[in-house]
């Protein structure tokens, strides 16, 4: 590519616009995915932590009944 060619600024601008749009799109999609995945993991951990005592209690009750 000859940088002294006439109108070369348009070529550079086109490639710069491509870089900005593609990088912006990639970043937006990847960041959104990471944020949502982290939110789901947090929610699952919260729910399993809330269920854990009650499930333990259920097992304890069942074992008590089995022992009677």
CA distance 15 to 61: 68
Q: Write the CA distances from 56 to 18, 60, 64, integer angstroms.
A: 56, 6, 12
Q: Which residues bind another protein (CB under 8 A)?
A: 1-2, 5-8, 10-11, 13-15, 17-18, 21-22, 24-26, 29-30, 32-33, 36-37, 39-40, 43-44, 47
Q: How far is the CB of 52 from another protein (least distance, A)?
A: 15
CA distance 32 to 16: 24
**Would you say 18 or 62 has its CB closer to another protein?**
18
Q: How far is the CB of 57 from another protein (least distance, A)?
A: 17
């Amino acid at each position: 590519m000859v940088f002294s060619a006439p109108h070369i600024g348009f070529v550079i601008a086109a490639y710069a616009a491509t870089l900005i749009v593609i990088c912006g799109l990639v970043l937006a999609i990847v960041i959104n995915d990471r944020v949502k995945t982290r939110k789901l993991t947090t929610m699952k951990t919260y729910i399993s932590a809330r269920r854990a005592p009650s499930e333990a209690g259920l097992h304890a009750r069942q074992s008590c009944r089995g022992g009677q």
